[in-house]
Structure 1
Amino acid sequence: MGDMATGQHSVRRVRRGEVGAAAATLARAFDDDPVMRWMFGDEQILRVGLPRMFGTMIRRFHLHHGATELVAGAGGPLGVATWDPPGRWRTPWWRTMWAVPSLLRAMPGRVAAAQAIVTAIETVHPSEPHWYLAYLGTDPSAQRQGIGGRLLRSRLAVCDAEAAPAYLESSNEANVPYYRSFGFEVTREIAVPDGGPTLWAMWRPPAAR
């Protein structure tokens, strides 16, 4: 999908040279996220590792799908959304192997926690073809300006045009009503074992044309 006019700013694809800036935006957006806090376990590890993790995941897992989008501001991305197309949410083993060294450096000593979250999520992931919203984040300096809504509407318009559902896991219960306002509904709670956090699986059928 190309640029989508949205008033003052535009929604467009993330370019390869913007991966670092996009990752930094997501890291700032997820700084106080309950799942990220539990997964990294330590404030200093999180500060250093979160942008590295997002950079690796965008570069290795999402960018090649052509559906990682940003809202651009004068100083860089104001918000970022990473989507995977129907049938392509699961990362091939060879891409995972490429990413492993970078992910190990991003979260030293926390691989088991990260794997517990991934396993809990993947075990209940829907088999029906759908667009998958892996991450959506707005820079704290740009929150409450409709940035997240612009990003959501950009890809949900594609979902509706293709008559395809959309799926996400909300890592913060406070965000569930926000996603409901875009047509998502909670289908189940995902509890990470051994005292891990809870995520809310949410599904959105395509809007009737």
Structure 2
Amino acid sequence: MEDMVRVIALAFESDDPIEDYVFPNPEVRRRRTPGMLRILIKHRYLPADAATVALVDDKIVGALLWIPHGYRSPAWREAISGPQLLWAMGPGATRRGIEVDAAIARSAPVEPHDYMVYLGADPQAQRAGVGRALTSRLIADADAAGRAVCGICKDDNVRYYEPFGFERAARTRIGSKGPELNFMLRPAARVSAG
């Protein structure tokens, strides 16, 4: 898990509007993001079987975290992770993190879908196909199940998702004064009846 935390924290350390919004101070972001990610991975993504990694020489060089269709975290897990997130993030960042979760929930389509939340590669492995491989795997699994895949991204990342069949479906804002981002949707593949 620590390598997943490291890779995602590095990938989102700068030039990410959501992380900039949750942790506006870069020094606070570097200090607090790993703790937040550790708790999210442990209590949200691993229990949902919604964490995939890319390995090179047995070292994690990329990670994809998502919310699988229909997954609801058990109440006991939320009760445990909530105070841990508050402690790891601080009260202001926790409130802004809740606004991020609300934007994700608000933008999610009604149709069955998997919602990509974090896709990151170690800076040394970026532009080497790590993100493509992770995204392709999630899409293949979603296609096999007849589910859409979606997520939100900044303007600069729209071109990354388009070759996978994602379309810019809408804009969504984080909170009332946070960044406005693109809601990207890859419609469900038609599953043949056999």
Structure 1 pair 85–119 and aligned structure 2 pair: CA distance change class (3 A) = closer
Note if 1:142 corresponds to 2:125.
yes
Higher alpha-carbon deviation: 26-35 or 195-204: 195-204
Note if 1:133 corresponds to 2:116.
yes
Instruction: Say which SS state the counterpart of residue 202 (structure 1) adopts.
Output: strand
TM norm structure 1: 0.83
Question: Alpha carbon RMSD of aligned pairs, Å?
Answer: 1.8
For residue 184 of structure 2, what is the aligned residue in structure 1? 202
For residue 79 of structure 1, what is the aligned residue in structure 2? 62
Does the 8 A contact of 2:147 with 2:188 survive in 1? Answer: yes
Letter aligned with residue 73 of structure 2:
T
TM norm structure 2: 0.89
Structure 1 pair 201–82 and aligned structure 2 pair: CA distance change class (3 A) = same
Cα distance in 2 for residues equivalent to 1:69 and 1:173:
25
Structure 1 pair 150–115 and aligned structure 2 pair: CA distance change class (3 A) = same
Letter aligned with residue 121 of structure 1:
I
Equivalent in 11, 15, 22 of residue 39 of structure 1: 22
Cα distance in 1 for residues equivalent to 2:122 and 2:135:
15
Cα distance in 1 for residues equivalent to 2:88 and 2:28:
8
Cα distance in 2 for residues equivalent to 1:118 and 1:85:
14
Return the offset for 1:124: 3.0
Equivalent in 91, 107, 119 of residue 109 of structure 1: 91
Does the 8 A contact of 1:45 with 1:107 survive in 2? Answer: no
Letter aligned with residue 62 of structure 1:
Y
Structure 2: stretches of 5+ with no match in the other structure: none
Letter aligned with residue 82 of structure 2:
V
Structure 1 pair 74–105 and aligned structure 2 pair: CA distance change class (3 A) = farther
Cα distance in 2 for residues equivalent to 1:191 and 1:76:
36
Deviations 1:111-149 (A, max 9, x none): 222222222332232232112212111111110101000
Percent identity over the alignment is: 32
Higher alpha-carbon deviation: 192-201 or 156-165: 192-201
For residue 60 of structure 1, what is the aligned residue in structure 2? 43
Residue correspondences, number: 189
Does the 8 A contact of 2:108 with 2:115 survive in 1? Answer: no
Equivalent in 164, 170, 178 of residue 182 of structure 1: 164
Structure 1: stretches of 5+ with no match in the other structure: 1-18
Cα distance in 2 for residues equivalent to 1:87 and 1:208:
19
Cα distance in 2 for residues equivalent to 1:135 and 1:76:
19
